[in-house]
Structure 1
Amino acid sequence: MKGFFKVQTPAEFLQKLERFKPVAVEKVDLEDALHRVLAEDVFSSVPLPEFPRSTVDGFALKARDTYGASEGNPVILEIVGEIPVGQISEIEIQDGQAVKVATGGIVPRGADAVQMLEFTEGIDSRTLHVFKTASPLENMIQVGEDIEAGEIALPKGRCLRPQDLGLLAGIGIKEVPVFSKPRVAVISSGDEIVSIDQRPHPGQIRDINRYCISSMVTESGGMPRFLGIARDRFEELRARIEQGLRESDMVVVSGGSSVGALDLTLDVLRSIPGSEILAHGVSIRPGKPTLLTDVGGKPLLGLPGHPVSAMVVFHLFGRPLVKLLAGLNRMDAFSLRRIKARAGRNIPSVSGREDYVRVSLEERDGSFWAYPLFGKSGAIAHLAKADGLLRIGIHEEGLEQGEEAEVILL
């Protein structure tokens, strides 16, 4: 009977992912760049803002002209004009003068502050009372205060968020250099697997993993391509894997990685030139029979066949791997959404492995409480009901009711 190599800890397994690098670089339109990863630093060719800008509706003036102003002793200034938003003006403010401006509008030459409308009163079309002292540069943004010309606007490796796209639009960037989305081949394997449009016979199951894994690839920033169901035949499985390696940047095979007479993935990979098996077995439950191989610089991730095990393993290791190929740095690629929660009941475990227990969450008295959803690794309904995975450490022997632990949100 085949056995596992030396079983890896989760930390050791994650470390082996770091050898895989982003695949290519392309330029995309700004409107298509959301959640893409910058492949190089982006510099600003212009200052932002490009003109002194008011941040409020009010009056542009010289701050020193308002010193000592109060409700009982207002300063009197001469109104010498108004600058509508979006327009420029040749007005230059002299001592004792003010110009009406709008939020986002240009601040005229000579002014070094803007006083809000709420602290002013127009006595007539030419006379203004100011009831509050303005500080220099109050309520205005200077040229280049947001970003200077020649400054790095966004660094390489940034996963672009809506606010990042706003910054790029503000400095006139139409296209951005990003890492290409990794193409991920997804293969289901096993004689017992049938497509979802078929009625399974006794001993058969519909192909759950295709849809679970493909959707998680998409969530992680990759482009999944399903290559079909491979039967438990050496040549058939090898043909699918070789197709995936030719046409994609990463291959994911569900089933065929555990110990068993019909589990061929390991044998197939050993037969492919240039393949290096990095890990076969990881000390977690569910998901111990997990396989990682480097084939000519392309990763192949072998998942357990049971849907819950496959999804847990992909969440912990597949998602970070896709994100690394998409260009994210290690810290961002390996980060997971986590919270602290208290165990709603005693939860048993065994020292020597990390347990990931499906839990539902309830918020009570300012704390989260995690209630285990026990079920076999093939029970997909339990995972559909789960809010997260409660982690029990490799050196712990379970949790007692009320004890706090980490929950990875799904």
Structure 2
Amino acid sequence: MPEFFNVLPPDEARELLFQHLTAVLPSKTVPTPEANGRVLATAVTAPHALPQFRRSTMDGYAVRAANTFGASESLPAFLQVVGEVPMGQPAKVTLGTGQAAIVHTGGMIPETADAVVQIEQTQTVSGVQLSVSGNYAYPFEIEVLKSVAVGQNVLQVGEDVPLGAEILPQGHILRPQDLGGLLALGIVSIDVVRRPRVGILATGDEVIAPKETAAPGQIRDINSYTVAGLVEQAGGVPILGGIIPDEFATLETAAANLLAETDMLVMSAGSSVSVRDMTVQVIDRLGSPGVLLHGVATRPGKPTIVGVVEGKPVLGLPGNPVSAMVQFDMFGVPAIYHLQGVKKMPRRGLVWAQLSQNIASETGREDYVPARLADGPEGLLATPVFGKSNLIYTLVNADGLIKVPLNKGGLLAGDWVEVRLF
């Protein structure tokens, strides 16, 4: 093949990829408790208000706020307790002027009450008497030691969610708290986007399965499994297609078959510019539009191939494990979210740390340097883990990646840098 590099900065390269990915995968209905991490296929609206009734936020006494105005420890308000609202039952007590009712946290308050006095801000005038059955003997008197305002310590109807409000938008990635919010509204099943199936091929005559004993000149397949882990974290389903030798017809057949049964294809190795590189020709022969670019202005992973075949993303990753993992995180993970119709990419775990030593770089490319984090005298301290891109333990021994911006010629010891956590 003729040697070529059509290098773009990462942001431009991702935008080019997304321009060719228009389809969103079909939806399916799943039980809400099983939907953690899934992407909503349609927006969800509240079928009723939440709360559905006025609820107390404290253990105490439901009152008419006006009956407590001016109350203090030196001049308390005297109220007559005429009943109790049992938990899980309607509030049947009716309050008149100067009256109160016992309520519990989360319980309903009577229609004739408009506030709740915290129990710690009251005291009984005399010992509370119990009836033969063990219940309070009503009425009894309390002193209110602090006034309350209308609505104080009370959740109003619809204060959490009004009836008909959009509670979660289409394309939202469901989190544990979202599941709780849906179930609180009685939404026990939900429409989510089908998980993208991502086919993964390893290539190279020297690559063997991890369970095999490596002979001189052979290496175990790492990339299939690091990429598969990233696929799962992004909500996809990895489909391992095995190890393909450096033979054009075999690679083309394997790639075509795997792409036909998946939503995305990833091939590792074979992306370096050399006479043995077949990945570009294979992608172009799989369908239109084929290769979009060969080369990204980053280190590691400059020779990454980005393509699309009939609306499906196809990536050719460098064989070096660090390069492959960084580049898949940069292009493969966003593509998986895009296929699910995610409107807002999840925030990466980012921390600021003080750099312990200089990092050299070149303007015109983004560098990603593995780093260890430790507590320093002024905050977190980031120590670069330098190593070549074929050394997987530079990542194993790191907590995240320091990003050197596109047009910055290196970073200096003492600089505060942003670290993308793994």
Q: Judge same fold: TM > 0.5, yes or no.
A: yes
Q: For 2:202 and 2:167, how far apart are their aligned partners in 1?
A: 43
Q: For residue 15 of structure 1, what is the aligned residue in structure 2?
A: 15
Quote the offset at 1:350 in angstroms: 2.0
Matched, 1:234 2:236: no
Q: For residue 82 of structure 1, what is the aligned residue in structure 2?
A: 84
Structure 1 counterpart of 2:362, from 334, 341, 350: 350
Structure 2 counterpart of 1:281, from 280, 291, 295: 295
Listed one character per residue, the Cα deviations across residues 48-68 of structure 1 (whole Å, up to 9, x for unaligned) are: 111110110000010001111
The 5-angstrom pairing of residues 150-161 of structure 1 reads 150-161=164-175
Q: For 1:25 and 1:308, how far apart are their aligned partners in 2?
A: 34
Matched, 1:71 2:73: yes
Task: State percent identity of aligned pairs.
Answer: 42
Q: For 2:407 and 2:164, how far apart are their aligned partners in 1?
A: 52
Q: For residue 375 of structure 2, what is the aligned residue in structure 1?
A: 363
CA contact (8 A) 1:388 1:409 kept: yes
CA contact (8 A) 1:2 1:259 kept: no
Q: For residue 244 of structure 1, what is the aligned residue in structure 2?
A: 258
Q: For 2:252 and 2:44, how far apart are their aligned partners in 1?
A: 43
Q: For residue 231 of structure 2, what is the aligned residue in structure 1?
A: 217
| RMSD of aligned residue pairs (Cα, Å) | 1.5
Quote the offset at 1:252 in angstroms: 0.9
Quote the offset at 1:153 in angstroms: 1.8
Listed one character per residue, the Cα deviations across residues 317-352 of structure 1 (whole Å, up to 9, x for unaligned) are: 2211112223322x415x432222332112222222
CA contact (8 A) 1:222 1:326 kept: no
Higher mean displacement: 392-401 or 47-56:
392-401
Quote the offset at 1:303 in angstroms: 0.5
Q: Across the two proteins, how many residue pairs are aligned to each other?
A: 408
Quote the offset at 1:370 in angstroms: 2.0
Aligned with 1:348: secondary structure?
Answer: coil
Q: For 2:387 and 2:48, how far apart are their aligned partners in 1?
A: 59
Q: For 1:121 and 1:77, how far apart are their aligned partners in 2?
A: 11
Normalized against structure 2, the TM-score is what?
Answer: 0.93
Q: For 1:63 and 1:189, how far apart are their aligned partners in 2?
A: 75
Q: For 1:337 and 1:278, how far apart are their aligned partners in 2?
A: 30
Q: For 1:155 and 1:97, how far apart are their aligned partners in 2?
A: 45
Q: For residue 398 of structure 1, what is the aligned residue in structure 2?
A: 410
Residues 358 and 37 of structure 1: CA distance in aligned 2, closer, same or farther (over 3 Å): same
Aligned with 1:225: secondary structure?
Answer: strand
Q: For residue 332 of structure 1, what is the aligned residue in structure 2?
A: 345
Q: For 1:169 and 1:226, how far apart are their aligned partners in 2?
A: 36
Quote the offset at 1:394 in angstroms: 2.4
Segments of structure 1 that go 5 or more residues without pairing to the other structure are none
Matched, 1:101 2:103: yes
Aligned with 2:200: secondary structure?
Answer: strand
The 5-angstrom pairing of residues 11-410 of structure 1 reads 11-19=11-19, 20=21, 21-123=23-125, 124=128, 125=138, 126-329=140-343, 331-332=344-345, 335-410=347-422
CA contact (8 A) 2:17 2:308 kept: no
Q: For 1:98 and 1:165, how far apart are their aligned partners in 2?
A: 37
Counterpart of 2:123, as a letter, is: E
CA contact (8 A) 1:48 1:143 kept: yes
Q: For 2:216 and 2:247, how far apart are their aligned partners in 1?
A: 21
Quote the offset at 1:217 in angstroms: 0.6
Counterpart of 1:7, as a letter, is: V
Q: For residue 131 of structure 2, what is the aligned residue in structure 1?
A: none
Residues 368 and 4 of structure 1: CA distance in aligned 2, closer, same or farther (over 3 Å): farther
Q: For 2:164 and 2:361, how far apart are their aligned partners in 1?
A: 56
Aligned with 1:18: secondary structure?
Answer: helix
Instruction: List, as ranges, runs of 4+ consecutive aligned residues in structure 1 with deviation greater than 3 Å.
Output: none
Segments of structure 2 that go 5 or more residues without pairing to the other structure are 129-137
